[in-house]
Amino acid sequence: MAYGIRLKVWGERACFTRPEMKVERVSYDVITPSAARGILEAIHWKPAIRWVVDRIHVINPIRFESIRRNEVGGKLSAASVSKAIKAGRTDGLITLADEDRQQRAATVLRDVAYVVEAHFELTAKADVGDSEGKHLDIFNRRARKGQYFHAPCLGVREFPASFELIEPDTLLPAVHADLLGERELGWMLHDIDFAHDMTPRFFRAVMCDGVIEVPAWNSEEVKA
């Protein structure tokens, strides 16, 4: 844990969609390790490093809200784009919101705040110029200044995340009284295994006084 960081992230709303309920989206109770990794990568990432989320601290009580929106159902197909390129015109390449409309409700989290404890590992793509200290410094510098590659979000892009680096010698924010005790959160997405054809891997999340220990990616507790 020599190269660990602690980042506080918070926002008004969040939606960490459960894969089993993604048509009418329902959020998990808390941020997933995968979403937390996404936030870290929005601040700093290079192919030479891989972020590993170790622990998630939940600061605020878990509350939900429902929002229904008009969305479109279809995706753009690659074949129609290449056809349009060949034809040299854009005429047919549109999606009509009126003809492809779906109304979908989303059950999202309200007023969330987390502290993400993470570290990174060097990957096979790291070369001589990539030392752990260098990437750690870049991350810390950016997080301190509020710099980012793209604005980090809480699950979906319409819910932006504010963030703040927690320096090593400062205390973590206090946990809300509602979160004390042990709570079983059920099977939760750990991350997607991009190396093996996008297989999702899950773990049994247990929140103890607001803290979720995230098991190591290759450990027994993480199942595909």
Q: Which residues bind other proteins (CB under 8 A)?
A: 12-13, 65-72, 75-79, 81-85, 87, 89-99, 103, 105, 110, 142, 145-151, 153, 157-160, 162-164, 194
Shortest approach of other proteins to residue 42 CB, angstroms?
Answer: 9
Judge whether 27 and 80 are in contact, CB under 8 Å: no
Between CA 200 and CA 190 the distance in angstroms is 8
Between CA 9 and CA 170 the distance in angstroms is 16
Query: In terms of CB distance, is 158 or 221 closer to other proteins?
Result: 158
Query: In terms of CB distance, is 81 or 208 closer to other proteins?
Result: 81
Query: In terms of CB distance, is 145 or 182 closer to other proteins?
Result: 145
Shortest approach of other proteins to residue 31 CB, angstroms?
Answer: 18
Judge whether 54 and 1 are in contact, CB under 8 Å: yes
Burial class (CB in 10 A: 0-12, 13-18, 19+), 14: buried
Shortest approach of other proteins to residue 211 CB, angstroms?
Answer: 25
Shortest approach of other proteins to residue 120 CB, angstroms?
Answer: 18
Between CA 67 and CA 76 the distance in angstroms is 25
Task: Please name every residue paired with 58 in a beta bridge, in sequence order, or none if there are none.
Answer: 114
Task: Please name every residue paired with 104 in a beta bridge, in sequence order, or none if there are none.
Answer: 69
Shortest approach of other proteins to residue 216 CB, angstroms?
Answer: 24
Query: In terms of CB distance, is 11 or 210 closer to other proteins?
Result: 11
Between CA 107 and CA 95 the distance in angstroms is 26
DSSP 148: -
Query: In terms of CB distance, is 123 or 147 closer to other proteins?
Result: 147
